[in-house]
Amino acid sequence: MFFGYNYHPQKFTLVKVITLKQLITMQSVALIIDDERDTCLLLKHFLKRKGISSYYSHTLQDGIGRVSELKPNWLFLDNNLPDGFGIDRVEEIKMLSPDSKIIMISAMGNLLEMANSVGVDTFIEKPLDSLKLENSLTN
């Protein structure tokens, strides 16, 4: 955190100056679509430590509705959900929120090529790894 002085002809005022990274994270939102409560809470906690607001949904239908509403910077998407497969809805998600970075999280590592072909930005195989999560936010 940086502090600086704001010059005014009559007085000096101490003002708080923040870095660009801090400004970006202040306005950053992530959406997690995963039916596993523990995964959602783990990701939510990880993102909170990074200064990123996050929300989660346990079904595709609810999650896709929230994509339209939130326009998240990052979307963590599980593949195997109670009401369908996340990979089948990637193109729809991209149309609803073209600037969202889609990070597929799945225990099915064999989906990597298919995920890339439909527009997933990053694929992380479960169990989740904090270094891979960190990289997914910055790449």
Q: What pLDDT was estimated at residue 99?
A: 95
CA distance linking residue 14 with residue 46, whole number of Å? 33
What sign for the dihedral angle of Cα 42, 47, 49, 52? negative
Flag whether pLDDT at 16 surpasses 70.
Answer: no
pLDDT of 101 reads 97
Could you give the 3-state DSSP secondary structure of residue 41? helix
Residue 25: which residues within 8 A CB-CB, separation 6 or more?
50, 51, 52
> Residue type for 5, please?
Y
The answer to whether the CB of 40 falls within 8 A of the CB of 58 is yes
Which of 12-26, 29-43, 52-66 shows the lowest per-residue confidence on average (mean pLDDT)?
12-26
User: How confident is residue 2, by pLDDT bands cut at 50, 70 and 90?
Assistant: very low
Q: Each residue of 43-53: pLDDT tens digit?
A: 999 999 999 99
Q: Are 87 and 78 in contact, with CB atoms under 8 Å apart?
A: no
Instruction: Return the CATH class of domain 28-138.
Output: alpha beta
Termini Cα distance of the chain:
24
What rounded mean pLDDT belongs to the chain?
Answer: 87
Span 15-37, average pLDDT: 72
**pTM strictly above 0.75:** yes
Q: Spell out the domain ranges in the chain.
A: 28-138
pLDDT at 25: 46
